[in-house]
Structure 1
């Protein structure tokens, strides 16, 4: 039986399609709304009547996977208990508990490091010593060094030490990615912190050093790697071997590759330079320099063991190529930070008359009130009257505005009236960028010099003073007196603390840093009037007992104390003007009889000239005491007959108080103007028959030295000091002993420091304020 499929009329199909389209356009809005409503009903039904899902739990990120901490174990236990529960009950606070994915903090061990669980011991410290070598010499030195280092760190037993035995690694054999993209992974022995030491000889041929430096460069510039991938290290330090026969100076390539490694490691570790770059000539002083560097590294590692950190000032001491532009004013090694008028909250203590909290007994020595206002019979009556009514207080109490301002400027306040601060020249000498005039004139290493004062108070308010409104002023000592041993121990301790903060500063030389940890000189010229301190002789005795030389600067306003002063290595008197009115205008003294005091001090220096090295210090201020005062200064030199006359141009500090006193940058003389003044003064002295000559200069600090012919031997100036002979004479004859400046006169002044040669230390490299070398003219 055959079936036939009926044919559909094409016209009918087209009509049906057209009808459907018209129907959709007519009713599409109700259809869409109905569909949305039905889907909403379906979602609600499924949400209400479907089976509940298990809660999504997140484990915290655990960085130390070798051992579980107590807190981690509790979290895992809580998760296991919740697994399979149909529905989580809400917490009592009505919100879900949040588990963060941060590193679980563990308890600190006794050494400041994470100790893991309560039963886990302190973290171990692994020192890795990397080296490169072509001839085998550096390899031998490095292995001997690592063995000695291990003996010093581990002591008798490794089990009793937090250190592991140092490991020696050859840069030619290791995979750099394992050590210099990130620190090594934790060992099976437990958590370990790493400290890197690198001993790098410099070569002028292709070597593994070039490959290593290229890797450090690429790591730093690889955008896929963190900026400081080696920041987890405890620290690092680099020692370089060089050959001065091939490269006499650093600029010519001496230890250049070690310096480059130090630079890149500073970048990769986030400036965790634990000890300055050491450098030694393997033919000459290599062993000695390496031993000094090793001693410093051991001290740092011992500190890390005790405190868990590199100490104050590290990291973050500056970029590998550091700018010297510190917005400072400088004079005689001082650093001054300008403070705007709007932020100034201080006035001179004399003007404020603030009553500071009266000191309590509580174990302190009985306070002493001393009046330096006058001398003579009339002065005694005045002193007796004032002493009976004066209020004994602290000069600079902790928390006072004066204390806050001085500490902000970098001072360390010792006791209640003393201070210490490292100067710009100390920092400069540590980095091989030049020493101050004291090295050129007298042979004093700036990096071994301590700037301090036992009295922050002064009796003048000089127009060029850097501490207007900061340090107290007064004509009499009306404060509590701290004992000299407290001051002596305090200034030494704080000076060394500030030196240690220089460890991470780029460019600091390891050998000079090691030398800086032995103070050899004390400049009592920081700020204030050191001779104001009642126990100044006792303080000087403590310095000399430890064979620390002393330069004391006074302002010629305390003749009684000057007359009672015992031996100092060199005694200064500031001569800021040649006549009474000029002195009043420049020094602005508080004493009414300031000129008489000034004259008496000159008489005392004249009497002392054959018992002590005496110095007139002239600070030249343009439009104040530079013009038409040469003859007046010559009169003063004739009156005091000092051994030396130092002439220095003023340094403008830029403070508003100096401006109000009439001092601006226009008052700062050029070096040539200072030279012209010195030539004129020397000529005036020779006309009077006084035997003086221009002995030395330090153009970098705008300072020139005139010396008595007593210190010219066989046509050569001998301005240097034989410090050992000075201390021997002091021990033999006592602090009031009878010996002359010639008895401890040193060797001849070096040729580079004499008049006409500039006076810059040839050991060092001059740089501009951006740290770039300045070529010698």
Structure 2
């Protein structure tokens, strides 16, 4: 029989295959699937059996080794063990993020606290807020014996250095916990509060400072004083500055709000609301003193839930006022068309400028309805326009009565009754301890107000000055000839208050003065180098040099700019260049206990760097205000004339050691002022007799000729006549043609 091939099957089988092949294949697939499922089920059963296997119920040791949940024993029968399924092991893979923010432990919570020190900060223009603060301080005095709540300390925000209190808590590592209480009024003008708010904001955004640098405080609370007749609602301005302070302190302290923000209407419920707030603060202080801390809440009463998230700072927070739709629109406007910008945006890294400042319309520096306007006018100022002022100097009154002119007459030949003292900017960027303006003038680091045209400023200054002069015509002792002369201004001292160089149109104003043959003496405080570099012709340029090192300058001038020392150094470099085109003067104000002792060498270094033509050294004048006293200044800080003379002699020696030829050119003992001058420029041979003499006076007609010529010129081109004999060193500096009197107007007999 011939064998069949592999595929050679009978015709019947082939017929069956072709007829039922679909059923055969489907059935084979089903059988295969069943076999696979059975195998998988058996494997799973073995795995579960291994996981659920337990030791023998008869073994006590085995029972004890079971998890706690499996040891549910019914009576004494160990066999009645209820076995529960253990938790499955976590699978390998990335950690799941739940979205819950873990709470960080607060700095200082574990620190041992023995005493609570309340510190009250306040601001005031008219003095009413201080009266409330005094009552509050008195009411917070603890009457309990051996109380661990100390007597409150009170600080005026205008008289402290913010870095001492609002970058880190004072005495951070001591066992005393500080509780900050801030009484913040709201004004519709720029005041020191604006700079305080800027400081808090800059501290928060400064990457060099911890996120919550004030977290070491025991807590804080803010009370705002507003006026509902002016601002009926919060969005329109009612207590907005207090709200801002509360917001920034929440961020700087890690939300250690000890008691909610209080607000009172100055013309309504202020005393009631302040009393309620004070009672709440009392309770908080007792809790802190007893070790209870700020309590529990969300989480902790210091972390109370807010209407806005205080942990997030975005553009919406920086845009003030308006609805959420307006804020979103403003935010969108700030980010649109960024690709169209062709140049980098200038940023002032010293004072962070919020978008709200750039979007809002500028407002007057000193509105007529503001308390600043009222205070300055009471002090004798005439406010010109919205940011300028003029005032009669006491030396002008003295010269009108023949009782002597100021040191500028002895040094430079300026008769005080022919001089107008004015300023185009009432705002300043320093808060000097010796400032006699009572701290009422505005302060700022950038010009953010409306700008009056220079012709309006110039006309207003002259009008205000002449009105003041006319008021002197009925004063006993005024000389008729000097009164007539005073009705024609010949000199202008731009040094009244504030920072004249701050005015955006200062060069145009100087040109108007010179056009009418009025000399210009401009004083700046070495904090605006860009404006100093672009300054045009001026008869004499003063720069106040109140300290020889960074720390002393910070203590004395209390500058608002954070990079104040760098700005100061840049001004020294600019002044060195300007000595070829301007009569430059260093103005040193000596404050005993601040910059008088052992600083002659430091001042000599600054003179060597800037090489000014003159160095005026003057003892500080104490004005006797509470502002000065709060800054640590008293009559004890006023040096005697002998002390000023000793300092000048030491400075002269220090300059000679550096190869600088400066000598004492003149003095004015009545003003406690002495002048050092560059010998190479101002000690020259007189044309009249060929004798070498000091020539510190100014030839004013020659100066105006130089300005009108349009050509470049230097200080040597308008040196005047020899310094009068009575003004030279050792002769006192008082004009013998005038009469010295005492404070009661009686002739003064000199020894």
TM-score by length of 1: 0.52
Query: Which residue of 443, 453, 462 corresponds with 2:423?
Result: 453
* 1:624 to partner: Cα distance: 0.2
Any residues of structure 2 matched to 1:141-152 within 5 Å, and which? none
Q: Which residue of 2 aligns with 1:764?
A: 738
State the alpha-carbon separation in 1 of the partners of residues 599 and 673 from structure 2.
18
State the alpha-carbon separation in 2 of the partners of residues 677 and 414 from structure 1.
39
Contact kept? 2:665, 2:729, Cα under 8 Å:
yes
Q: Which residue of 1 aligns with 2:85?
A: none
State the alpha-carbon separation in 2 of the partners of residues 344 and 450 from structure 1.
40
* 1:392 to partner: Cα distance: 1.4
Query: Which residue of 187, 192, 211 corresponds with 1:351?
Result: 192
State the alpha-carbon separation in 2 of the partners of residues 340 and 771 from structure 1.
37
* 1:383 to partner: Cα distance: 6.1
State the alpha-carbon separation in 2 of the partners of residues 340 and 554 from structure 1.
33
**1:746 matches 2:587:** no
Query: Which residue of 576, 598, 620 corresponds with 2:546?
Result: 576
Distance 1:666 1:744, change over 3 A: same
**Aligned partner of residue 592 in structure 1, secondary structure:** coil
State the alpha-carbon separation in 2 of the partners of residues 397 and 421 from structure 1.
18
**1:379 matches 2:358:** no
1:439-470 CA-partner distances (Å, limit 9, x unpaired)? 00000010000000000000000111112431
Distance 1:656 1:388, change over 3 A: same
**1:775 matches 2:745:** no
Any residues of structure 2 matched to 1:232-631 within 5 Å, and which? 349-353=190-194, 378-379=347-348, 385=355, 388-631=358-601
**Aligned partner of residue 452 in structure 2, secondary structure:** coil
Aligned residue pairs total 421
Contact kept? 2:532, 2:574, Cα under 8 Å:
yes
Query: Which residue of 713, 719, 726 corresponds with 2:703?
Result: 726
Contact kept? 1:461, 1:468, Cα under 8 Å:
no
State the alpha-carbon separation in 2 of the partners of residues 491 and 344 from structure 1.
38
Distance 1:438 1:343, change over 3 A: farther
State the alpha-carbon separation in 2 of the partners of residues 434 and 344 from structure 1.
45
Contact kept? 1:391, 1:478, Cα under 8 Å:
no
State the alpha-carbon separation in 1 of the partners of residues 399 and 640 from structure 2.
24
Query: Which residue of 670, 686, 694 corresponds with 1:717?
Result: 694
State the alpha-carbon separation in 1 of the partners of residues 384 and 642 from structure 2.
40
Distance 1:605 1:772, change over 3 A: same
Distance 1:412 1:378, change over 3 A: closer
* 1:400 to partner: Cα distance: 1.0
Any residues of structure 2 matched to 1:37-52 within 5 Å, and which? none
**Aligned partner of residue 664 in structure 2, secondary structure:** strand
Q: Which residue of 1 aligns with 2:30?
A: none
* 1:388 to partner: Cα distance: 2.3
Q: Which residue of 1 aligns with 2:654?
A: 684
Any residues of structure 2 matched to 1:85-234 within 5 Å, and which? none
1:337-380 CA-partner distances (Å, limit 9, x unpaired)? x999968999864433499999xxxxxxxxxxxxxxxx996538
* 1:387 to partner: Cα distance: 5.0
Contact kept? 1:700, 1:760, Cα under 8 Å:
yes
Any residues of structure 2 matched to 1:663-678 within 5 Å, and which? 663-678=633-648
**1:643 matches 2:613:** yes
RMSD: 2.5
State the alpha-carbon separation in 1 of the partners of residues 632 and 132 from structure 2.
19
Distance 1:382 1:404, change over 3 A: closer
1:311-354 CA-partner distances (Å, limit 9, x unpaired)? xxxxxxxxxxxxxxxxxxxxxxxxxxx99996899986443349
**Aligned partner of residue 654 in structure 1, secondary structure:** coil
Q: Which residue of 1 aligns with 2:102?
A: none
* 1:384 to partner: Cα distance: 9.1
Contact kept? 2:431, 2:439, Cα under 8 Å:
no
Q: Which runs of 5+ in 1 are unaligned?
A: 1-337, 359-374
State the alpha-carbon separation in 1 of the partners of residues 367 and 354 from structure 2.
26
Q: Which residue of 2 aligns with 1:652?
A: 622
**Aligned partner of residue 442 in structure 2, secondary structure:** coil
State the alpha-carbon separation in 1 of the partners of residues 650 and 413 from structure 2.
27
Distance 1:383 1:732, change over 3 A: farther
**Aligned partner of residue 619 in structure 1, secondary structure:** strand
Contact kept? 1:390, 1:478, Cα under 8 Å:
no
State the alpha-carbon separation in 2 of the partners of residues 645 and 432 from structure 1.
28
State the alpha-carbon separation in 2 of the partners of residues 552 and 383 from structure 1.
29
Distance 1:455 1:605, change over 3 A: same
State the alpha-carbon separation in 2 of the partners of residues 423 and 378 from structure 1.
40
**Aligned partner of residue 379 in structure 1, secondary structure:** coil
Contact kept? 2:192, 2:442, Cα under 8 Å:
no
Contact kept? 1:530, 1:536, Cα under 8 Å:
yes
Distance 1:538 1:406, change over 3 A: same
Distance 1:437 1:564, change over 3 A: same
Q: Comparing both chains, which one has the higher relative contact order based on Cα–Cα distances under 8 Å and sequence gaps of 6 or more?
A: 1
Contact kept? 1:440, 1:759, Cα under 8 Å:
yes
Distance 1:656 1:376, change over 3 A: farther
State the alpha-carbon separation in 2 of the partners of residues 727 and 655 from structure 1.
40
State the alpha-carbon separation in 2 of the partners of residues 769 and 340 from structure 1.
33
State the alpha-carbon separation in 2 of the partners of residues 343 and 773 from structure 1.
43
Distance 1:752 1:643, change over 3 A: same
**Aligned partner of residue 593 in structure 2, secondary structure:** coil
1:139-160 CA-partner distances (Å, limit 9, x unpaired)? xxxxxxxxxxxxxxxxxxxxxx
Query: Which residue of 725, 729, 745 corresponds with 1:755?
Result: 729
Distance 1:761 1:474, change over 3 A: same
State the alpha-carbon separation in 1 of the partners of residues 705 and 132 from structure 2.
49
* 1:560 to partner: Cα distance: 0.3
Q: Which residue of 2 aligns with 1:239?
A: none
1:72-113 CA-partner distances (Å, limit 9, x unpaired)? xxxxxxxxxxxxxxxxxxxxxxxxxxxxxxxxxxxxxxxxxx
Contact kept? 1:340, 1:655, Cα under 8 Å:
no
Contact kept? 1:578, 1:636, Cα under 8 Å:
yes
Contact kept? 2:192, 2:443, Cα under 8 Å:
no
State the alpha-carbon separation in 2 of the partners of residues 376 and 670 from structure 1.
52
**Aligned partner of residue 348 in structure 2, secondary structure:** helix
Contact kept? 1:615, 1:645, Cα under 8 Å:
yes
Rg larger for: 2
**Aligned partner of residue 398 in structure 2, secondary structure:** helix
